[in-house]
Amino acid sequence: MVDKPTDKDLLIYLWNIVRLHLKEFYLVIFLLLLNVAFGTIAPLFFRKALDLIETNEISTTIIMVLTPLIAYFLLMLVKWFWEVFQNIFKAKLNAQITKDLRVKSFNGILENNLTFFDNSETGFLTSGLTNDINEMREAGQRFVDLFTSLFRLVITIGILLYFSPKLTLVSVIFLPIFFLVVFSLRKYQRRIAKVWRKNFATVNQRFSETMRSIAISKSFAREEENIKKFTLLNEETYISSIKRGFAIFIIGPINDFFRHLLLILILTVGTIESFNGNLDVATFYLFIFLMDYYYYPLLSLARNYSRFQSLFVNLERLLNVSENSETKEINTLSNESLKIAEKLHGKVEFKNVNFSYIKDTPVLNNISFQIKPGQRVALVGHTGSGKSTIAALIPRFYNINNGEILVDGVNIQNYELKSLRTVIGLVSQRVLLFKGTIRENMLIGNENASDEDIWDALDTVQAREFIELLPNSLDFLVTEGGKNLSVGQRQMISYARVLLGKPDIIILDEATSAVDLYTESKIQDSTELLLKGRTSIVIAHRLTTILKSDFIIVLEDGEIKQIGNHKELMEQKGPYQDMYHLYFKTQSAKYLEKIKTAM
């Protein structure tokens, strides 16, 4: 998809989605065309009845007059039944298109890189996947109406031409003016639709943000302030909704204005033609009767044009978040040239790596180090030093500016992305469990794992004890985010989940959340079991972890300042020694014992 799609590009994209259901689309078209045919032919029987009355011949009987009227009634009855079937299949077509568009957009968003999610608001993405797509549920219907309106217009004009070319010419005189007015409203409609959609998404974002941070809001007594801000946003959305409604429905009054002008014109010209003997009363009535049937497809075409402008705004937003090539996770090689990461030895090497989240704002500068298979490396440094960034680069959550990152001697760019991440286990400091059972959360690590495998992993991190005490054990229902479990319980489940995937490399961001001493000791034991025998990179916050590491990388302002083990670094004057005395020292058992003795 082009970066700034034109109306034509967006129309083609929509049509390609509709084409996935051509069978249903053609069926709806067929039913609508029959409906149009019945609606167009029926007035001809009515005209015949009027013609019989007008001639007033002796041979004319009530039965002869009633016959075309009965035929007219029967055709309109059949038309009604066709409308019922037509609406059923139209609803089915709309539902199928909405379903496909929702899946396509969801998949497209998940294929984006983390930079996209770092710069995106959850509320806007949620709005895109729900409200924008829901508003596009009538995309198929818009195409159906477009085809049938054109067909209906052509058939109606054809019938009118047959009976009176002069009066038909009068009927179409306002067509160019009408469509010129409609087209001139295009930019206004598009602009108003964009403002409304942005305001609506902002309301969703604010609502979502307020719900997520409700505890903080209450602790600072911010409810009243939140209500004021939300009310102001809602008022802006309300105003833009009115403008949007006006932009859409102004077409109706414009149509009515031209229709009434046309009615006056037809009555004037038709009366003159009748007095001159060039037009019979029945045909004159047919023109008046069909005028609504003639102007309805005009109104439908105009409204469809207006609706398409709104659809295009929604679609443009969706494509921007789901089909934007600049935000995709892509491999530098073709799929055939990529290497599948299966069983790795676990050697990791950074060679002169530079990285920045924002252009010209470096985060890592010339980072180089090597980790041998099975080694444990601790990353230490103040907040913002680049520890988490290094950890995020190994599974290619972000692409580096220049340099190389090698795993088992192969540039990570040359690995198939999914397979690379499969052999790397990541445990974040912020543990997230999904709504569902503990078993379902565990199977995220390995969807083919048996219950025995799950229990083995839980045993390894000493989590069996508390899980067996929970109602339904593995079938215990975890609430969103795991809020009905303690911090320590969530941590141990996340460790077991990673173990279940049997990764060759572990990246661990050590938790610093306050837990009781018993849970703390179990988490430390679980950490040791998790890292045992594997290459591991730990963003270390505990002195015990640092002391057990093979070597320590000290980071400061995105650069490596020191590398060595604890003893070596303590013998040097530098940032590590300063950090140790600042906060690592307080975790030392000897230090705590010294304070206790002094007391």
Residue 388 has pLDDT above 80, yes or no: yes
In whole angstroms, what is the distance from residue 208 CA to residue 212 CA? 6
In whole angstroms, what is the distance from residue 510 CA to residue 527 CA? 9
Most confident of 45-49, 169-173, 410-414: 410-414
Sign of CA dihedral 19, 21, 24, 28: negative
Q: How confident is the model at residue 352 (pLDDT cuts 50, 70, 90)?
A: very high
The predicted pLDDT at position 147 comes to 73
User: Bridge partners of 507?
Assistant: 426, 537
Residues 107-161: pLDDT tens digits?
777 777 777 776 666 666 776 677 777 767 666 667 777 777 777 777 777 777 7
In whole angstroms, what is the distance from residue 300 CA to residue 145 CA? 7
Total count of residues recorded for the chain: 599
Q: Provide DSSP, 2-14.
A: -SS--HHHHHHHH
Share of the chain above pLDDT 90, in %: 3
Residue 45 has pLDDT above 70, yes or no: no
Residue 29 has pLDDT above 50, yes or no: yes
Residue 541 has pLDDT above 70, yes or no: yes
Residue 221 has pLDDT above 50, yes or no: yes
Q: Could you give all domains of the chain from N- to C-terminal order, each with its CATH number?
A: 7-185+250-325 (1.20.1560.10), 346-423+505-599 (3.40.50.300), 431-502 (3.40.50.300)
Arithmetic mean of pLDDT, 344-369: 88
Residues 502-523: pLDDT tens digits?
888 888 887 555 555 666 676 7
In whole angstroms, what is the distance from residue 60 CA to residue 62 CA? 7
The predicted pLDDT at position 349 comes to 92
In whole angstroms, what is the distance from residue 390 CA to residue 484 CA? 32
3-state secondary structure 257-304: HHHHHHHHHHHHHHHHHHHCCCCCHHHHHHHHHHHHHHHHHHHHHHHH
For 486, the token pair is: 């303690």
Share of the chain above pLDDT 70, in %: 75
For 585, the token pair is: 């020292």
| 159 or 587, higher pLDDT | 159
Sign of CA dihedral 412, 413, 416, 421: positive
Q: How confident is the model at residue 596 (pLDDT cuts 50, 70, 90)?
A: very low
Arithmetic mean of pLDDT, 545-569: 87
The predicted pLDDT at position 592 comes to 45
In whole angstroms, what is the distance from residue 58 CA to residue 2 CA? 73
Residues 425-474: pLDDT tens digits?
888 777 778 888 888 888 887 888 888 888 888 888 888 888 888 888 88
Arithmetic mean of pLDDT, 531-549: 83
Residue (of 190, 91, 198, 103) closest to 138 by Cα position = 91
